[in-house]
Amino acid sequence: MLLDREICALGGDTGVSLRLEEKISYNRTVSLLRFKLPREDQVLGVSMGQGVNLEGRGIHHPISGFDTLGYADFLVPESDPLG
């Protein structure tokens, strides 16, 4: 299960550990993953269209706004849609 797991988001030579706060399954193949940022007043600082390497899940693009405080949302494919 992904909840209660921390994921490391990598940008260049830096990595930030992000806690998965919520997983919303839209269908068998796609889910929204919401990661809590280290501080409530923090932004991810990555624009839509820029990719973030979510360790173990590959490169994904945030769907939350650039100025969203405290969390970052990513729409990701399920690795095993039948599982």
Residue 52: closest CA among 62, 42, 40: 62
pLDDT tens-digit map of 9-68: 545 566 677 888 999 998 988 999 999 988 888 888 776 677 888 776 778 888 888 788
Could you tell me whether strands 71-77 and 58-60 are parallel, antiparallel, or unpaired per DSSP bridges?
unpaired
User: In this predicted structure, what is the pLDDT of residue 46?
Assistant: 78
Mean per-residue pLDDT, 70-74: 91
Q: Which domains occur in the chain, in start order?
A: 6-77 (2.40.30.10)
- List the 52-54 sheet strands across, edge first: 58-60, 52-54, 6-11, 14-25, 30-36, 71-77
Least confident of 6-10, 62-66, 78-82: 6-10
